[in-house]
A and B are shown apart, each in its own frame.
Chain A
Amino acid sequence: MRLSILLSLTSLMSFSSIASIEITDNLSLSGFASTSISRSNNDTALIINRGIADDTCYDCDTTLGLQLDYYNEAFKASAQLVKRPQDGWGDPELEWAYVGYTVDNIEFRAGRLRLPLFLTSEYYYVSHAYTNARPPEELYNSILGITAYNGANIVWNIELFDEYQLSITPFVGFSDSNHLDVSDTLEVDIEIDKLSGINFLFTGDYYRWNFSYFNADFGQNLQFTNAIPNVPYFEIDLPDENVELYSIGAEYEFGAMSIASEFQFNNIRDSWYTSASYKMGKFIPYVVYGENHSKITNVSTFKGLTGTSKLIGVRYNVKYNLSLNVEWQQFKTYGGQRGSFVGTPTQTDANLGSIMLNYVF
Chain B
Amino acid sequence: MFHNNKLYEPRLNAVFRVFTYCLLFIFFLGVIFVNEASAAEEFAIFTTNSDFRPLSKNKVRMLYRGKVKLLQGKKVELSDWSEDSEFRRNFYQQLLGKDTAQMNAYWARLSFSGKARPPKVIKKDSVNELLEWVAKKKLRIGYAKLDTLPDTVNILYVVKKEKQ
Chain B CB within 8 A of A205 CB: yes
Chain A: residues with CB nearer than 8 A to chain B? Answer: 18-20, 22, 28, 30, 32, 39-42, 54, 65, 67, 69, 71, 78, 80, 96, 98, 100, 102, 104-105, 109, 114, 122-123, 125-126, 128-130, 155, 157, 159, 162-163, 165, 203, 205, 255, 278-283, 285, 312-314, 317, 319-321, 323, 328, 330, 347, 349, 351, 353, 360
Q: With A and B bound together, what is the CA distance between A130 and B106 in angstroms?
A: 8
Q: In the complex where A65-B112, A114-B113 touch, is A314 in contact with B26 (Cβ < 8 A)?
A: yes
Instruction: Tell me the minimal C-beta distance from A280 to chain B in angstroms.
Output: 3
Give B26's nearest chain A residue, CB to CB.
A283
B111 and A30: CB pair below 8 A?
Answer: yes
A328 and B27: CB pair below 8 A?
Answer: no
A20 and B111: CB pair below 8 A?
Answer: yes
Q: With A and B bound together, what is the CA distance between A68 and B73 in angstroms?
A: 27
Please, which residues of chain A bring their CB within 8 A of the CB of B151?
A: none
Q: In the complex where A40-B2, A114-B113 touch, is A203 in contact with B83 (Cβ < 8 A)?
A: no
Give B23's nearest chain A residue, CB to CB.
A285
A320 and B61: CB pair below 8 A?
Answer: no
B62 and A360: CB pair below 8 A?
Answer: no
B112 and A330: CB pair below 8 A?
Answer: no
Please, which residues of chain A bring their CB within 8 A of the CB of B120?
A: 22
Q: In the complex where A19-B83, A278-B27, A282-B101 touch, is A328 in contact with B19 (Cβ < 8 A)?
A: yes
Q: With A and B bound together, what is the CA distance between A32 and B109 in angstroms?
A: 11
Interface residue from A54, A105, A163 paired with B2 (Cβ < 8 Å): A54
Chain A CB within 8 A of B126 CB: no
A129 and B112: CB pair below 8 A?
Answer: yes
The listed residue with most B CB atoms (<10 A of its CB), out of A109, A123, A203, is A123
Please, which residues of chain B bring their CB within 8 A of the CB of A320?
A: 83, 99-101, 103-104
Instruction: Tell me the minimal C-beta distance from A27 to chain B in angstroms.
Output: 12
Interface residue from A71, A78, A162, A281 paired with B34 (Cβ < 8 Å): A281
Give A317's nearest chain B residue, CB to CB.
B101
B118 and A349: CB pair below 8 A?
Answer: no
B5 and A347: CB pair below 8 A?
Answer: yes
Instruction: Tell me the minimal C-beta distance from B72 to chain A in angstroms.
Output: 12
Instruction: Tell me the minimal C-beta distance from B125 to chain A in angstroms.
Output: 12
Please, which residues of chain B bring their CB within 8 A of the CB of A80?
A: 112
Interface residue from B23, B29, B70, B83 paired with A105 (Cβ < 8 Å): B70
A104 and B70: CB pair below 8 A?
Answer: yes
Please, which residues of chain A bring their CB within 8 A of the CB of B152?
A: none
B118 and A280: CB pair below 8 A?
Answer: no
Please, which residues of chain A bring their CB within 8 A of the CB of B160?
A: none
The listed residue with most A CB atoms (<10 A of its CB), out of B101, B103, B113, is B101
Give B57's nearest chain A residue, CB to CB.
A162
Instruction: Tell me the minimal C-beta distance from B103 to chain A in angstroms.
Output: 8
Please, which residues of chain B bring their CB within 8 A of the CB of A163?
A: 58, 62
Chain A CB within 8 A of B56 CB: yes
Please, which residues of chain B bring their CB within 8 A of the CB of A22?
A: 120
Can you pick out 27 interface pairs between chain A and chain B where the beta carbons lie within 8 Å of each other? A18-B82, A19-B118, A22-B120, A28-B117, A30-B111, A30-B112, A54-B2, A67-B112, A69-B117, A80-B112, A98-B114, A104-B73, A105-B70, A109-B114, A114-B114, A125-B112, A126-B109, A128-B108, A159-B67, A163-B58, A255-B97, A281-B33, A285-B27, A312-B20, A320-B83, A320-B104, A349-B5
Give B31's nearest chain A residue, CB to CB.
A280
A162 and B5: CB pair below 8 A?
Answer: no
